[in-house]
């Protein structure tokens, strides 16, 4: 009988990519803008951060529920000025 040892799957090496923070959607979601393209606008990608305990957006008041305040503005200021690598 042949040796049928199973080898672990090969993991691709992670690539480092750079982008500028274009927009902060919430405490755990950001839109990144890539480098300028010669044939159109720069590419964009939305990134959702996992394992983040993020503040939530406020809600508008309705007839049956009071509104709530946004909790994300302090986090937005901190994130929006940084580069993501």
22: pLDDT strictly greater than 80: yes
DSSP 8-state symbol, 75: H
Is the CB of residue 57 less than 8 Å from the CB of residue 48? no
32: pLDDT strictly greater than 80: yes
d(CA 76, CA 69): 15
d(CA 22, CA 36): 13
42: pLDDT strictly greater than 60: yes
> Coil, strand or helix: which one is 66?
coil
85: pLDDT strictly greater than 70: no
| Bridge partners of residue 44, in order along the sequence | 33
Q: How confident is the model at residue 44 (pLDDT cuts 50, 70, 90)?
A: very high
Indicate the average pLDDT of the chain: 76
Average pLDDT over residues 50-76: 69
**Tokens 């090969």 correspond to what residue?**
10
């Amino acid at each position: 009988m042949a040796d049928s040892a199973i080898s672990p799957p090969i993991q691709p090496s992670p690539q480092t990519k750079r982008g500028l923070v274009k927009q902060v959607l919430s405490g755990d979601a950001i839109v990144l803008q890539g480098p300028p393209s010669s044939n159109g606008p720069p590419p964009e990608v939305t990134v959702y951060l996992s394992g983040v305990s993020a503040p939530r957006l406020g809600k508008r008041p309705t007839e049956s529920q009071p509104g709530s305040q946004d909790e994300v503005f302090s986090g937005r200021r901190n994130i929006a000025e940084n580069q993501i690598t």
